[in-house]
Amino acid sequence: MPDAHRLTVNGRDHEVRCPDGTPLLWVLRDRLGLTGTRYGCGVGSCGACTVWVDGQPTHSCDTPIWSAAGKSVVTVEGLTEAGPHPVQRHLIDGQAGQCGYCLSGIVMRAAALVDQAHAEGRHVEGDEVRAALDGHLCRCGAHNRIVDAVVSAGGE
Amino acid sequence: MPSCPPGASDVPAKPGNPSLAAAPLIGDWLDFTHEGIVRARTGKSELGQGIATALVQIVADALAVDVDSVELAPPDTSGPDETFTAGSLSVQHSGGALHAASTQARQLFTDAARRRLGAEPSLAEGRFVVDDASVSYADLAAEVDLAVAIDPTIASYDPSGIVGADLPRLDLADKVLGRPRYVQDMRLPGMRFARMVRRPARGARLVDVDEESALGIAGVTDVVRDGDLLAVVAEDEIAARAGAEALRESAQWQVPDSSLSDGDMVEQLTTADTDDTALSDGPSIDAPTLAARYTRPFLAHASIGPACAVAVQEEGLLRIWSHTQGVHPLRRDIARALDRPVDRVQVTHVEGAGCYGHNPADDVAYDAALLAARLPGRPVQVTWTREDELGWSPFGPAMVVDLAAETNADGQVTAWSWDGFGNGHSSRPGTLPTPSLLAYEEQQDGTPIPPAGDPPQAAGAGTGRNAIPGYEVGSVRAVAHRALTMPIRSSAMRSLGAHLNVFAIESHLDDLARHHGIDPVEYRLRHLGDPRGRVVLERAAQESGWGSPLAEGHGRGIGYARYKGTGAWCAAVVEVEAVSSVRVVRAWLAADCGRIVNPDGAVNQLEGGAVQSLSWTLLERVRFAGGRVLSDTWEEYPILHFSEVPPVEVALVERPDEPWLGAGEASMGPTAAAVGNAVADALGVRVRDLPITAEAIVAAMDS
Ligand code: FES
Ligand code: FES
């Protein structure tokens, strides 16, 4: 009998039954219907599956459900609930993407970066954004537009 | 033997617009019966390149209606058969057809409005107006017969200003906001989730497997075994993944010996039996001024989202949802593989991650189709793993190019010779004698996928794409040698042979320029008669500050080509810092894509192409041995990271009165060439074997 795991996702409490080692990614997509979090590699190499766990950008594909239990998870859907985050608005304004498959993971990483810089009373800079996004792969070559959009979101 | 099997082509080699030949009537493309909405159809897939938005702009502009009132249906096998979304031809073909259909429809509706309103109407916001009276397109739909042949030469109305504007992409906001949009996000009632357990190596035979090992897992509903094909079907991904793992552990395979590896590809390709096609029959050169060999390895499309498809066997109809580049050819190949009538199969396009050519999109569609056919009434979604995506996709073929050139005392090139060796560049569904779908070669009664063909020269060729220089170089000899044995499956990848051919031509020209002591830009201009090409070349040089001093250890290089000799003109300048390895500091592009539907979209495509080409040129190589692809993780197949991507500046040469030309593939070759030339400028070393890694530089220094 699979174990029951309790976690909070986008502010709502859930109990899911699945094997202990099940990656958070598949719990989100399969059990909670939150398909905005993408599967890209399953082993922490591409960033497509990034969500926040207790506020920290985290690869949901290599986060076993037991380690997310009792924690608060935010997905791209949750981030968007109260209206698009500035990072999302600037990505759209700057038409920063082509196929877009990499974007929800990038949004989660970049939004955390921008929010933290704001909390510290400063604006993010290009090199800092490139460094923060270095674990995120984009095959379409939208990198420069993405960096520019995040920097301008940070300037708000 | 023909240079390719019937139909093996990225685009059909018919005169005029092949899209109109396939769907000749206005009513094939447009429907006005809904108030306030124009329904338009296309056979070209949105792949992240923005084609859907561009087509909506074309229709809205020609009909003088608001873009919001144009609804473009996703490609479906009930709509126009435009074969593949490939070759940077979607705007030319689908856009050309929709433009002519819309223009002619507007004429017919204007006639009907004149009859209804009794005077010449004006057209504003989708309504025909005479004084206080007005009618809409929908009001007149019943009396306008659209079963009328489209006249592709019809004169355009004055543009409404929608074409040429930076309309934001219609699909992008959903993607940024994480809304369901991709085939991966489809959830049909009762849908099952399946995973394929692929062979450990090419040609491996499934000897035994413990099906119970998977069936005992909660949520696993079926195990499908058919010859060497093995799959697990489950209630959710979690169970499907566990089931696949169990099957993989218990399966016993017989793996054939294979000594082929990527290390001996040059030897393999230059000694294989080949099918030779002369693209230009000038004489061979006895005493060349410069002769050299250029190579590239197999390359992976390497989509960020592993392939996915959904299928369901309904009463008498197999429905498939796929991120394919061609719904019609895929439908025909699936019908052939499952041995059923074509009209019992329907394929609908749903967006996926970018594909950059023939990736496993079609293979996974067949996986889903064959599983769904065994589970009538049950929708089945199949998602590939990252390892299978990088390991079992068709790959952009490895190539070897031998170039020779002869120059006179002034440095002018007087004779040119090209020999291109490699596997074919197209094994797309429906283009080969037997089905070109991975699972078909695993199934009991299936057959191995035959070697890839090459598109005919009239469609831009494959190995020979951009083999003939766009310069005045005297006599030209060009012979393509397509290998008839295929170590790993090859097929179309963005720009086909143009990537290596442009790299080779432009490297060769740079060395000739240096040999004669002439500046590389000046040297090219001396050989370039094409006025639009000259403008593009000069523009790129000017934007980059060509000739200005560079920092220590830096180098600058240029590359130029007109894509396919018939498409967009593009020049690239790249500045590198090269010590032991290469870092691209900055890149500049100039391009002439004719009239531009969406300038921002064209810039995005050109820049994206340049960044992808930098990645291929600097880093990428598919490695394989013993019938197994070894580079099947992102660690083993690295692509360019955020910190490695240089700023890219794009200048568009405006040509509002010229026909529109696609932008998606034009920058691949010139960018690769510019990198090679910049490295040579910085280090004085010519690297001719891609990718230009630190090792390749050392090897070039040693030779
Ligand atoms: S899917 Fe998680 S990092 Fe790639
Ligand atoms: S936009 Fe396609 S992978 Fe980034």
Query: Exposed/middle/buried for B695, CB within 10 Å: 0-12, 13-18, 19+?
Result: exposed
**CA distance linking residue B160 with residue B157, whole number of Å:** 8
Q: DSSP for B479-512?
A: EEEEESS-SS-B--BTTTTHHHHHHHHHHHHHHH
For ligand 1, whether the C-beta of A42 sits within 6 Å is yes
Contacts of A19 in chain B (CB under 8 A): 238, 242
Residue tagged 């608001």 (tokens): B66
- Tell me the C-alpha distance between B397 and B129, whole Å: 58
Q: What is the pLDDT of residues B23-33, one digit of tens each?
A: 999 999 999 99
Residue of B nearest to A50 (CA): B178
Please tell me which of the candidates B185, B237, B306 has its beta carbon nearest to residue A26. B237
| Closest residue to A46, CB basis, from B193, B604, B634 | B634
Q: Can you tell me the distance from the alpha carbon of B268 to that of B275, in angstroms, rounded to the nearest whole number? A: 14
Is the pLDDT at A45 greater than 90? The verdict is yes
Q: Which A positions 117-146 lie with beta carbon below 8 A of chain B?
A: 129-131, 133-134, 136-146
Question: Which of B185, B306, B612 shows the shortest C-beta gap to A141?
Answer: B612
Residue B124 backbone phi and psi in degrees, to 5: -145, 130
B551-603, pLDDT tens digit by residue?
999 999 999 999 999 999 999 999 999 987 899 999 999 999 999 999 999 99
* 3-state SS record for B115-142: HHHCCCCEEECCEEEECCEEEEHHHHHH
Side chain identity at residue B476, one-letter code: V
Interface of A with B in 59-78 (CB under 8 A): 75-77
B567 Cβ closer than 6 Å to some ligand 2 atom:
no
Measured CA to CA, the distance from residue B360 to residue B319 in angstroms comes to 19
Q: Which ligand is nearest to the CA of A41?
A: 1
Identify all chain A residues contacting B218, using CB atoms and an 8 Å cutoff. Answer: 2
CB B287: neighbour CB atoms within 10 A?
8
User: Pairing relation of β-strands B648-652 and B582-592?
Assistant: parallel
Q: How many C-beta neighbours within 10 Å does residue B553 have?
A: 12
**Chain A CB within 8 Å of residue B634 CB:** yes
How many CA atoms, within 13 angstroms, populate the side-chain half-sphere of residue A152? 13
Task: Write out pLDDT tens, residues B535-547.
Answer: 999 999 999 999 9
Nearest residue in B to A85, CA atom: B177
CA of B671 to the centre of ligand 2 (A): 20
User: B107: number of CA atoms within 13 Å, CB side?
Assistant: 15
CATH topology of domain B8-167: Aldehyde Oxidoreductase; domain 4 (3.30.365)
- Does residue A48's CB lie within 6 angstroms of at least one atom of ligand 1? yes
Half-sphere exposure of B59 (CA within 13 A, CB side): 29
Is domain B183-255+307-384 classified as CATH 3.30.365.10?
Answer: yes
| Residue position matching structure tokens 């696949």 | B244
Least CB–CB distance from A2: residue in B176, B218, B353: B218
A contacts of B610 (beta carbons < 8 Å): 141
Contacts of B609 in chain A (CB under 8 A): 141
Q: Looking at residues A93-119, what average pLDDT do you find? A: 97
Chain A, residues 88-107, CB within 8 A of chain B, namely 88, 91-92, 95, 97-104, 107
Cβ–ligand 2 distance for A138 under 6 Å, the answer: yes
What residue's CA is closest to ligand 2, atom 4? Answer: A138
What pLDDT was estimated at residue A22?
95
Q: How many CA atoms lie within 13 A of B655 on its CB side?
A: 19
Predicted pLDDT of residue B260:
83
Q: Is the CB of B354 under 6 A from ligand 2?
A: yes
| DSSP percent split of chain A into helix, strand, coil, nearest 5 | 40, 15, 40
Which of A35, A52, A53, A61 to probe ligand 1 with, by most ligand atoms within 8 A of CB? A61
Candidates B615, B616, B614, B594; CA nearest to B663 is B594
In the numeric block, which tokens belong to residue A120? Answer: 């510290």
The pLDDT value recorded for residue B40 is 96
Measured CA to CA, the distance from residue B316 to residue A8 in angstroms comes to 45
Nearest CB partner across the interface for A36, out of B178, B305, B601: B178
Whether the bond into A64 is cis, omega within 30 of 0: no
Contact indicator for B346, B77 with CB cutoff of 8 Å: yes
B399-425+462-702 CATH choice from 3.30.365.10, 3.40.50.1970, 3.90.280.10, 3.40.50.720: 3.30.365.10
What would the pLDDT profile of B120-146 be if each residue is shown by its tens digit? Answer: 999 988 899 999 999 999 999 999 999
* Spatial distance between the Cα atoms of B89 and B74, rounded to a whole number of angstroms: 18
Q: Which residues of B touch A48 (CB under 8 A)?
A: 304-305
- Compute the distance between CA of residue A108 and CA of residue A48 in angstroms, rounded to an integer: 10
The CATH number assigned to the domain with range A3-75 reads: 3.10.20.30
B396 vs A: CB within 8 A? no
CB B666 within 8 A of CB B563: yes
Name the CATH code of domain A86-154 (choices 3.50.50.100, 3.30.420.40, 1.10.760.10, 1.10.150.120): 1.10.150.120
**What is the torsional sign of CA B276, B278, B279, B284?**
positive
CA distances for B102 relative to B26, B31, B250, B492, B697, angstroms: 8, 10, 59, 32, 54
Q: Decide if B175 touches A, using CB distance below 8 A.
A: yes
- Determine the length of chain B: 703
What pLDDT is stored for residue B198 in this prediction? 98
Q: Which two tokens stand for residue A1?
A: 């009998």
Ligand approaching nearest to the C-alpha of A138: 2
Which chain B positions have a beta carbon within 8 Å of A35's beta carbon?
Answer: 180, 182, 184-185, 187
Q: Strand runs (DSSP E) across B484-612, as ranges?
A: 554-562, 569-578, 582-592
The pLDDT assigned to A85 comes to 98
**Chain A residue nearest residue B187, CA to CA:** A33
Strand partners, B247: none
Q: Is the CB of A142 under 6 A from ligand 2?
A: yes
Confidence of residue A1 (pLDDT cuts 50, 70, 90): low
- Judged on CB neighbours under 10 Å (0-12, 13-18, 19+), B418 is buried
Q: Is any Cβ of chain A less than 8 angstroms from the Cβ of B631?
A: no
Residues of chain A neighbouring B193 (CB-CB closer than 8 A): 30
Cα distance between residue B108 and residue A113, in whole Å: 56
Yes or no, beta carbons of A140 and B612 under 8 Å apart: yes
The structure tokens listed for B82 are: 């435009």
Asked whether A107 lines ligand 2 (CB < 6 A), one says: no
- How far does the centroid of ligand 2 lie from the alpha carbon of residue B661, in Å? 23
For B494, phi then psi, to 5°, come to -15, 115
Per-residue model confidence as pLDDT tens digits over B389-448: 999 999 999 999 999 999 999 999 999 999 999 999 999 999 999 999 999 999 999 999
Handedness of CA A43, A45, A47, A48 (dihedral sign): negative
- A46 CB less than 6 Å from ligand 1? yes
Q: Give the CA-trace dihedral at B174, A100, B561, B512, to 10 degrees.
A: 160
Cα distance between residue B338 and residue B367, in whole Å? 11
Place of tokens 């399966």: B251
Contact B454, B465 (CB under 8 A): no
**Residue spans per domain, chain A:** 3-75, 86-154
Q: Do A139 and B639 touch (CB under 8 A)?
A: yes
* Chain B contact for A155 (CB, 8 A cutoff): no
Q: Among B421, B381, B325, B274, which residue's Cα sits nearest to residue B47?
A: B325
Which chain B positions have a beta carbon within 8 Å of A141's beta carbon? Answer: 607-612, 645
Nearest CA in chain B to A134: B642
- pLDDT score, position B486: 85
Tell me, yes or no, if B169 comes closer than 8 A to chain A by beta carbon: yes
pLDDT reported for residue B13: 34
pLDDT single digits (tens) B615-644: 999 999 999 998 999 999 999 999 999 999
The whole-number pLDDT of residue B546 equals: 98
The residue type of B410 is D
Exposed/middle/buried for residue B147 (C-beta within 10 Å: 0-12, 13-18, 19+) = exposed
**Dihedral angle of Cα A130, A133, A139, A140, to the nearest 10 degrees:** -60
Q: Is B323 at the interface with chain A, CB within 8 A? A: no
Smallest CA-to-CA distance from A23 within A7, A13, A11, A12 is with A7
Between the CA of B225 and the centroid of ligand 2 the distance, in Å, is 35
DSSP bridge partners of B345: B318
Please answer yes or no on whether A95 and B647 come within 8 Å at the CB atom: no
Beta-bridge partner residues of B559:
B572
Q: Using one digit for the tens of pLDDT, what is the confidence trace for B152-200?
A: 999 899 888 999 999 999 999 999 999 999 999 999 999 999 999 999 9
Rounded to 10°, the helix B51-63/B96-117 angle is 30
Compute the distance between CA of residue A82 and CA of residue B147 in angstroms, rounded to an integer. Answer: 49
Fold match, B183-255+307-384 / B399-425+462-702: yes
Which tokens in the block code for residue B581? 């390895």
Q: Say what the alpha-carbon torsion angle B516, B473, B13, B42 is, to the nearest 10 degrees.
A: 40
3-state helix, strand, coil in chain B (%, to 5): 35, 25, 45
Chain B interface test: which of A91, A109, A139, A148 (most B C-beta within 10 Å): A139
* Number of neighbours of residue B143 by Cβ within 10 angstroms: 12
User: What are phi and psi for residue A5, nearest 5 degrees?
Assistant: -130, 135
Question: Among partner residues B168, B177, B635, which is closest to A80 by beta-carbon distance?
Answer: B177
Residues in chain A, total: 156
Q: What are phi and psi of B97, to 5 degrees?
A: -65, -45
Measured distance CA(A71)–CA(B93) in Å, rounded: 53
Give me the helix-helix angle, B668-683 and B599-619, nearest 10°.
Answer: 50
Give the residue carrying structure tokens 């479906």. B76
d(CA B221, CA B208) in angstroms, rounded, equals 20
The secondary element (H helix, E strand) that includes residue B526 is helix B520-527
Residue B652 sits at φ, ψ, to 5 deg, of -100, 130
d(Cα B247, Cα B213) in Å, to the nearest integer? 7
